Chains A and B, each alone.
Chain A
Amino acid sequence: MAARGLLLVSILVLSCFAETAFGAENIISFASLKKTLVVSASHKQGLLKAGEDKITVTWGLNQSFPAGTDSAYKTIKVKLCYAPISQVDRAWRKTKDNLAKDKTCQFKIVAKPYSSANQTFEWVIERDVPSATYFVRAYAFDANDHEVGYGQNTNAGKTTNLFEIQAITGRHVSLDIASVCFSAFSVVSLMGFFYAEKRKARKSQQ
């Protein structure tokens, strides 16, 4: 039984090595992208509320780049991205250079076909956006749906033009009342059972 176990273990270990050897793909790295788009986001002052407030995003090609930079651009996807402060101690929002594994930008604001003129979009912040600090980034995709350029409304260190969004709580008064009522019912019914048992015991003694 030990020998069979050892064989099974070695087969598993070998197979996982084999998987990693054949697993190398075309990795698109963020560092390889050029910041060819100019993106700006305008919103009201102070804390933005999910489900209520709007962000107006404007994007376009940075004209200081040589002509033809945007020849491959087919679509633009504008995304809401976490600022570094909201990524601390939260590995599920980690920034990775491999764009396939990068979790910085998890919310899509809009996707539009690329046009050389500047474009604008007004976005009502969706209700499932969590409370955090954000910035806006736009990715340019080619015909194969690979990232070929980007732009963001903040600087390289992601410290400027950040804005805070406050999420909905998801709580409702009816839920609160239901919770309290059912809890009280549980405790009271326990007392009720005890009382009924005592009465039965007293009755059987008579």
Chain B
Amino acid sequence: MEISSTITETQPQKFALPVDSEHKATEFRLFSAAAPHMRTFHLSWVSFFSCFVSTFAAPPLLPIIRDNLNLTATDIGNAGIASVSGAVFARIAMGTACDLFGPRLASSSLILLTAPAVYFTSIASSPVSFLLVRFFTGFSLASFVSTQFWMSSMFSAPVVGTANGVAAGWGNLGGGATQLIMPLVFAVIRDIGAVKYTAWRIAFFIPALFQTLAAFAILIFGQDLPDGNYQRLQKSGDKQKDQFSRVFYHGISNYRGWILALTYGYCFGVELTIDNIIAEYFYDRFNLKLHTAGIIAASFGLANLFSRPAGGMISDMMAKRFGMRGRLWALWTVQTLGGVFCIILGKVGSLGVSIAVMLIFSVFVQAACGLTFGVVPFVSRRSLGVISGMTGGGGNVGAVLTQLIFFKGSKYSKETGITLMGVMIICCTLPILLIYFPQWGGMFCGPSSEKVATEEDYYLSEWSSKEKEKGLHEASLKFADNSRSERGRRVHSAAMSSSEATPTNV
């Protein structure tokens, strides 16, 4: 069912970017701040960036904090685990909140409610209080889900992968930037005259204020959809509400969601783990200054500037030629190579080689994150929010597990832990071999030849016949049509003949 552009609406809206029938932008112009699409993009990635800065503000200052609060290696490990465990369930809940309240209110509420945890880090005085503040600050990482949800609401299929990849990648940059920012801020405050143990406390006000201001910006300048905010649209009947229980069921009963949750735990989860341990690793192993260790640690996270978006773009490129099978092969290959370089990183003993290996490792691991979210949008249409939340939450579970097994206490030296983590990456990436779409195939099998499986069969299986009678499945039908390009080049001619939503300028 196409919505024709010749029907004039009561209020003809003018958008700075070309839009489709749902008013989603069909172009992604990075250097524009035009409302609402690009402005949303910038609000979104900056606020997500601020959450990452806050969550990983402690690790680069740990050499100071561990002496001030008398922390043991076990205390530090526990706090690191706590910092990423809160978001496991928060990410799944965030998907629901976005559905019900809209990404603008959901994300700004989360960010403002977790800001106190960052302010209170300044007055932490024991291992327990340190763990608590890191735990509550970590909840803010659930804003990943609202970022992706918001991008999917503002950007159309041809550019949604890029928009999602850049927003997520630039947000993850915060994990790297904070390793630079915090030692710098600490040094400035200390040089002004504060003693070490006071300087780090004052330094925490910077990420806290940044987070508060980012949330204000969202509330003042943001809007949920190209046409306005949820509250207004729901009252006028322009937006349909789906049933939460059905959406949730179809999400968690899809095995592909669980496999992707596991594998995302071993690209994104590994990224979070490294954010937590790498500064201390370089400081202790190579006897560097705090400032220097921070710069090296930062370069890991800063690679996100291009590597995660590149992963998304590689996924799209592979899909053009080889369809979904190409996406899966690219994901498995890149993530496995990430594991190989992780093993090497733990083994090298000289500083220069260590930095080089870490940089290569970071590119592969972050590209794998981007590649994962090249597959996620196709797993389910009705339950996209739940699948995204599961995958995102799985990322944090991976971070919790790796820190628990390899980086808690003094059982393994950090270098051994890193090598073993690499082995675990390779093992936990193998399940991608099991992902199979009847209409497109999997890594080793082609599409189902027993019966002609179509995209419609797959996406409409999420709706009951009663729901189909009411016509609730229309959006899934449209999506199924658009997703035919996942068959790859050999059926490109078939894809051309099926009608796609023509972009319209309103």
Q: B-contacting residues of A (Cβ < 8 Å)?
A: 5, 8-9, 12-13, 15-16, 19-20, 23, 88-92, 127-128, 130-132, 167-172, 175-176, 178-180, 182-187, 189-190, 193, 197, 201, 204
**A20-B350, A89-B409, A167-B67 given; A12·B357 CB < 8 A:** yes
Contact of B344 among A12, A132, A182, A187 (CB under 8 A): A12
Q: Is the CB of B353 within 8 A of A12?
A: yes
Chain A nearest CB: distance from B60 CB in Å?
15
Q: Is the CB of A190 within 8 A of B113?
A: yes
Q: Name the segment of B192-200, B379-387, B465-473, B482-490 touching the other chain.
A: B192-200
Summarize A's interface: helix, strand, loop or mixed.
helix
Chain B nearest CB: distance from A93 CB in Å?
9
Q: Is the CB of B410 within 8 A of A178?
A: no
Q: Is the CB of A183 within 8 A of B120?
A: yes
9 extra interface residue pairs, beta carbon distance < 8 Å, beyond A170-B201, A183-B115, A183-B119:
A19-B349, A19-B353, A128-B197, A171-B198, A175-B122, A179-B119, A184-B116, A186-B113, A189-B112
Q: Is the CB of B198 within 8 A of A175?
A: yes
- Determine whether B458 belongs to the interface, using a CB cutoff of 8 Å to chain A: no
- Given the complex of chains A and B, what is the CA–CA distance between A178 and B197 in angstroms? 17
Give chain A residues whose Cβ lies under 8 Å from the Cβ of B209: 182
How many positions in chain B have a CB within 8 Å of any CB in the partner chain?
52
Give chain B residues whose Cβ lies under 8 Å from the Cβ of A176: 123
Contact of B119 among A16, A127, A182, A204 (CB under 8 A): A182
User: Chain B, 63-74, contact with A by CB distance < 8 Å: what is the 0/1 string?
Assistant: 100111010111
Give chain A residues whose Cβ lies under 8 Å from the Cβ of B212: 182, 185-186
Give chain B residues whose Cβ lies under 8 Å from the Cβ of A91: 73, 284, 410, 413
Q: A-contacting residues of B (Cβ < 8 Å)?
A: 63, 66-68, 70, 72-74, 108-109, 112-113, 115-116, 119-120, 122-123, 125, 195-198, 200-202, 205, 208-209, 212, 215-216, 219, 231-232, 280, 284, 337, 340-341, 344, 347-350, 353, 356-357, 360, 409-410, 413
Q: Is the CB of A197 within 8 A of B73?
A: no
Chain A nearest CB: distance from B206 CB in Å?
12
Give chain A residues whose Cβ lies under 8 Å from the Cβ of B125: 169, 171
Contact of B219 among A89, A92, A132, A193 (CB under 8 A): A193
Q: Is the CB of A186 within 8 A of B116?
A: yes
**A90-B73, A91-B284, A131-B70 given; A168·B344 CB < 8 A:** no
Q: Is the CB of B112 within 8 A of A170?
A: no
Summarize B's interface: helix, strand, loop or mixed.
helix
A169 closest partner in B (C-beta): B125
Give chain A residues whose Cβ lies under 8 Å from the Cβ of B219: 193
Give chain A residues whose Cβ lies under 8 Å from the Cβ of B350: 16, 19-20, 23
Contact of B197 among A167, A190, A193 (CB under 8 A): A167
- Given the complex of chains A and B, what is the CA–CA distance between A193 and B113 in angstroms? 13
- Given the complex of chains A and B, what is the CA–CA distance between A20 and B350 in angstroms? 8
B414 closest partner in A (C-beta): A91
- Sample 28 A-B pairs with CB under 8 A, ordered by A number: A8-B360, A9-B344, A12-B348, A13-B344, A16-B348, A16-B350, A19-B350, A19-B353, A88-B72, A89-B72, A89-B73, A90-B66, A90-B73, A91-B410, A92-B63, A127-B195, A130-B70, A167-B67, A167-B197, A170-B68, A170-B195, A175-B123, A182-B116, A182-B208, A185-B212, A186-B215, A190-B112, A197-B231
Chain B nearest CB: distance from A164 CB in Å?
12
Give chain A residues whose Cβ lies under 8 Å from the Cβ of B201: 170-171, 175
A177 closest partner in B (C-beta): B123
Q: Is the CB of A130 within 8 A of B68?
A: yes
Chain B nearest CB: distance from A39 CB in Å?
24
A92 closest partner in B (C-beta): B284
Q: Is the CB of A170 within 8 A of B109?
A: no
A106 closest partner in B (C-beta): B67
Q: Is the CB of B198 within 8 A of A128?
A: no
Give chain A residues whose Cβ lies under 8 Å from the Cβ of B280: 92
B118 closest partner in A (C-beta): A183
Give chain A residues whose Cβ lies under 8 Å from the Cβ of B357: 12
- Given the complex of chains A and B, what is the CA–CA distance between A128 and B360 in angstroms? 38
Chain A nearest CB: distance from B119 CB in Å?
4
Chain B nearest CB: distance from A159 CB in Å?
21
Q: Is the CB of A170 within 8 A of B119?
A: no
- Given the complex of chains A and B, what is the CA–CA distance between A135 and B67 in angstroms? 17
Give chain A residues whose Cβ lies under 8 Å from the Cβ of B353: 12, 15-16, 19
- Given the complex of chains A and B, what is the CA–CA distance between A132 and B208 in angstroms? 31
Chain B nearest CB: distance from A23 CB in Å?
7
Q: Is the CB of B195 within 8 A of A183?
A: no
Give chain B residues whose Cβ lies under 8 Å from the Cβ of A193: 108, 219
Q: Is the CB of A169 within 8 A of B348?
A: no
Q: Is the CB of A171 within 8 A of B123?
A: yes
Chain A nearest CB: distance from B406 CB in Å?
14
- Most chain B CB inside 10 Å of its own CB: which residue of A88, A131, A169: A169
Chain A nearest CB: distance from B212 CB in Å?
5
Q: Is the CB of B337 within 8 A of A183?
A: no
**A89-B74, A201-B231 given; A128·B195 CB < 8 A:** yes
Chain A nearest CB: distance from B357 CB in Å?
6
Chain B nearest CB: distance from A179 CB in Å?
4
Q: Is the CB of A167 within 8 A of B68?
A: yes
Contact of A170 among B116, B198, B349, B410 (CB under 8 A): B198
Q: Is the CB of A189 within 8 A of B122?
A: no
Q: Is the CB of B72 within 8 A of A90?
A: yes
